[in-house]
A and B are shown apart, each in its own frame.
Chain A
Amino acid sequence: MEALVFWIAAAAMVGFTLLTIAARNPVYSACFMILSFAATAALFVLLDAYLIAAVEVLVYAGAIMVLFLFVIMLVNLRESEHEGLRLNPLMVLAAGTFLALMSRAVKDLGSAVQEAPNALVGTPGTLADTLFSRYAVPFEAVSGLLLAAILGTVVLARRKEDA
């Protein structure tokens, strides 16, 4: 059962990601990417990372992709500017080399790693215990980063005549 869900979700993730980078229309790309994030959330559930799965749907598929869609609509490309894919042998070589090296490294991993006997479950409680104790300082730093990003966005997006 677990294996079946894994294969279906993994196929969906790879397939929708492929459609994302191959679609000519940016709006279609964004829609396929939302589906790919949904498949990723299913995979996170399979890894017992329940809170991460929820955050993936809320933040990635919800907030970030809506932002992307807004900007795609604002930029409003003319039909002629929908560019196709540009394939260069060097790109294929680079991507192939990366994939080959990665697969080799994964193969070397061998049986060194085994699933922990006492399964880790990523509920809000277990994550909060770690996040607000050992990672309290990085947590505060990230809140500062988000504030800086908000301010930077507002300053950048302001039109000159408002200044």
Chain B
Amino acid sequence: MITVQHWLVLSGMVFTLGLCGVMMRRNVILVMMSIEIMLNAANLALVAFNKHLAPVAGAVPPDGQVLVFFTIAVAAAEVAVALVIAMLLFRRLDTVNVDDVANLRW
């Protein structure tokens, strides 16, 4: 029997892997891919909660799944803009290493 705990632990493990990716990788494209991994893990948790936290009686509204739609749309918009910024970074500074772009760092 697969319970909601199984889904949440899976989601948490994948989210942690994405977090590790953001912290360990220095290539800006890989950092963005790790962010996508984290968003994906959150989507999984949303859908799992939608299935398991639904009210006992009456029709079940798919609110969680609708929210996942919005997450995917926002992720697509974010990736498009972020990848152009990465391309501009490469065009102007000839690097995609986040350590080389620390001008604004305090």
Contact = CB atoms under 8 A, between A and B. Distances in A.
A143 B40 CA distance: 21
Nearest to B88: A156
Given A21-B25, A87-B24, A149-B81, A55 B69 contact: yes
Interface of B: 1-2, 4-10, 12-21, 23-27, 29-30, 32-34, 36-37, 40, 43-44, 47-56, 59-63, 65-66, 68-70, 72-81, 83-88, 90, 96-97
Contacts, number: 217
- A interface, over-half SS: helix
A72 interface: yes
Contacts of A30: 33
Given A98-B16, A156-B84, A59 B40 contact: no
28 contacts: A14-B10, A14-B14, A17-B17, A21-B21, A21-B37, A33-B36, A43-B10, A49-B50, A52-B65, A56-B43, A67-B83, A71-B86, A74-B87, A98-B12, A99-B12, A102-B8, A107-B5, A113-B49, A115-B51, A116-B54, A116-B56, A118-B60, A119-B60, A120-B50, A126-B62, A152-B81, A153-B80, A157-B87
